[in-house]
Every structure is written in C-alpha cells, then in structure tokens.
C-alpha cells in the first residue's frame, strides 16, 4: 500500500471573483523514501496543494477528492485527529521562514514546542531531543545555544530552525515549500543537501516545491508540472526534464537562460511564452494553456485534455504533445 495517495484533489477558495477552483483533479501517490517535486510558476497552486495535505486551508474553502495517508482518508478525519497528523506524521517547511517563526520567542522554545505537542516526553527528554535535532540541522547547541531569537540568525540559519521543527517528530512525509527561494545560492546548496540527506537517512518521503527547475532537477526523482491549478505533465524527473512533452513544460525550459550561454556564438533570444497566465475567473473552457499554445488544435479550446501516457509513469495532459522531432 502506498504511503500517500492523493486522488482527484480539488480545492475551491473564496476569491475577489467569488468561489474559484484553484486546484483541479490532482492525482499522485508516494512510497516511503520517494522524493517528489512540484514545479510551476507563481499562482499555479503549489502552496495550496501543500496546505491541503497539511489540512491548513482557509476555513471557508472546500476540498473534494481523497488524501489517503496509510489507508486513511485524512479529509474525513475530525479536527483532533488531524492535529495529531499535522506536524507528527507530515511536517512542513514554509515558504517564508520569517513569518512562520515566532519573532519574539527563542529558537529553543520554538523547537521544543513542536515536540511537546506530539510526543509525550519529560522536560529532560525534550531537551535531549532538541539538542539532537539542532545537531542534525547543523546548529549545534554547543555553538549556537538555544536562546537566540529568529532576527539574530541569518536566513539560512532560520531555515535550519524551521527544518528542525518540521522533522522534530520524525514525520513520514516532509513538505518543503520553496525552502531556498530567499537564500543565496551557496546557502541554498547547503540547505538542499541537508534536506536530501535527512530524507535519505530516515526514509522520509519528501515533497519539494519550487519554481526553480534546477532545484527540482537536483533534488526530486519524480516531478509534477503544474499550470493554473492542474497537473500538465508528470513522471520521473529524468523523463520529464529530458523528454518533455507538454508545450508548457517545453516553454518553461526554453525561457530560462542556461549556464554556458556566453560561449554560444550568437546568443539567441530567449523563447518567451506569449501572453500571460489567465486569471482564475478567466480560465478558458478547454485546455487552460490554449490561448498561449502554438500547437493548439481546434479541440483544445472545447474540451479539457485527459492524461495520456508518454512512457511508463510519464503522463501528459495534452492533445498535441511534443515528439522528439518537434524539439530538434
């Protein structure tokens, strides 16, 4: 049985334009130790997907579908049971460490709080666990102590505190939502290494969310590409990044300047995707990408595409996916 199965997940939120479905029919499943990436541009629904898994969506939202954690649909649980899963079985590192940490509380207290909440430990045991965690994330108590406040730490150190809190109760699943977006590349490298090592050594499943294709390429084994709340392409990172089939995935890759561009004789213009992401209330009836897609067929504007198989475990939601010849 899979550790986590997400089936037909849809989320509707109240927006300025009334209720809008911001996540539509998301499906994926994970085993222990899997590393999955979610990639896509701002507003495509990456964080909302993560918040749905954590049962942290706004109160006035509606969620449909199933989120099955070890055989139990957590969308059907009462709030007490959900609390014992959140933080305990699924840990999360948030997009903005400064807003997720309490600015007026010492870091030691913040980390021990997340332990108190779930593990019934004595004071002494808690302290031991905190010190073990701080070692793991590279902020050894002997060197940093526990009574620093978040503002006294660098961005990378704050993110390490967040990681310590997220893994405090040995969760089976760790969700990292843009864990390095605010950091310098050298610090990013350290934090990604840390997250990867923690996942590898504990068998924790990892969901890493980023808009940075490089970050996903180097940390995730499988990837889901999202556009306007839907998955458009999914598969092993190798397949999707080396043999992309969806015009949007292809567009993303040709829009980024590659390291090494300065040796090319003629620096080509970047391929930008024409137009812009449609607003939620203005999404077209058929394929959401149709207005920007150079491969659109007539059917694309009428009917949403279903998943088709490109290779084993490599799926694309498109009527006219790219073939090898198209990419030459």
Contacts with ligand ATP by CB under 6 A lie at: 13, 15, 22, 40, 42-48, 58, 95, 211, 280
Residue 88 structure tokens = 């305990």
Kindly tell me which of 85 and 223 has the beta carbon lying closer to another protein.
Answer: 223
Residue nearest to Mg ion (CB): 47
Question: Closest CB to ligand ATP among 40 and 171?
Answer: 40
Quote the CA–CA distance of 147 and 104 in Å, as a whole number.
Answer: 11
| 39 vs 322 by CB, closer to ligand ATP | 39
Q: Which chain residues interact with another protein by CB under 8 A?
A: 41-42, 155, 184-190, 192-193, 211-215, 217-218, 237-238, 241-242, 251-253, 255-263, 267, 269-273, 276-277
Q: How would DSSP label each residue in 99-132?
A: HHS-TTS-HHHHHHHHHHHHS---HHHHHHHHHH
Q: Which does 263 bind (CB under 5 to 8 A by kind): another protein, Mg ion, ligand ATP, none?
A: another protein
Residue 47 near which of another protein, Mg ion, ligand SF4, none (CB within 5-8 Å, type-dependent) = Mg ion
283 binds ligand SF4, rule: CB under 6 A? no
Nearer to ligand SF4, 22 or 225 (CB): 225
Q: Does 319 bind ligand SF4 (CB under 6 A)?
A: yes
From start to end of 131-214, where are the E strands? 173-177, 205-210
| Residue 291 Rama label (left phi>0; alpha psi -120 to 50; beta) | alpha
Sign of the torsion angle spanned by Cα atoms 144, 218, 310, 256: positive
Structure tokens at 211: 């808009």
Q: Does 180 bind Mg ion (CB under 5 A)?
A: no
Tell me whether residue 16 or residue 185 sits nearer to ligand SF4 (CB atom).
Answer: 185
**Residue 97 token pair:** 């460490």
Q: Is 40 in the site for ligand SF4 (CB under 6 A)?
A: no
Distance CA 39, CA 22 (A): 16
- Site size toward ligand SF4 (CB under 6 A) is 13
Q: Show the tokens assigned to 227.
A: 């556009």
Maximum alpha-carbon separation in the chain: 68
């Amino acid at each position: 049985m899979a550790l986590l199965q997400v089936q037909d997940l849809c989320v509707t939120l109240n927006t300025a334009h009334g209720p809008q479905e911001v996540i539509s029919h998301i499906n994926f499943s994970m085993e222990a130790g899997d590393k999955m990436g979610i990639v896509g541009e701002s507003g495509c629904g990456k964080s909302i997907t993560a918040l749905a898994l954590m049962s942290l969506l706004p109160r006035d939202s509606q969620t449909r579908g199933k989120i099955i954690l070890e055989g139990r649909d957590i969308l059907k649980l009462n709030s007490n049971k959900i609390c014992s899963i959140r933080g305990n079985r699924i840990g999360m590192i948030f997009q903005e460490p400064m807003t997720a940490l309490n600015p007026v509380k010492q870091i030691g207290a913040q980390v021990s709080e997340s332990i108190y909440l779930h593990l019934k430990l004595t004071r002494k045991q808690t302290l031991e666990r905190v010190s073990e965690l701080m070692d793991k994330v590279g902020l050894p108590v002997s060197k940093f102590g526990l009574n620093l406040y978040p503002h006294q730490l660098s961005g990378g150190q704050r993110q390490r505190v967040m990681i310590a809190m997220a893994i405090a109760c040995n969760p089976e699943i760790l969700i990292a939502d843009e864990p390095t977006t605010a950091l310098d590349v050298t610090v990013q490298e350290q934090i990604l290494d840390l997250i990867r090592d923690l996942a590898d050594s504990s068998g924790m499943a990892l969901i890493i969310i980023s808009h940075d294709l490089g970050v996903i390429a180097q940390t995730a084994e499988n990837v889901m590409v999202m556009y306007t709340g839907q998955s458009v392409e999914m598969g092993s990172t190798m397949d999707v990044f080396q043999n992309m089939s969806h015009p949007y995935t292809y567009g993303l890759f040709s829009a980024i300047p590659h390291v090494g561009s300065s040796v090319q004789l003629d620096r080509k213009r970047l391929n930008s995707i024409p137009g812009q992401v449609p607003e939620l209330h203005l999404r077209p009836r058929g394929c959401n990408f149709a207005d920007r897609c150079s491969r659109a067929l007539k059917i694309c504007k009428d009917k949403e595409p279903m998943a088709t198989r490109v290779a084993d475990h490599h799926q694309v939601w498109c009527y006219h996916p790219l073939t090898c010849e198209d990419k030459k």
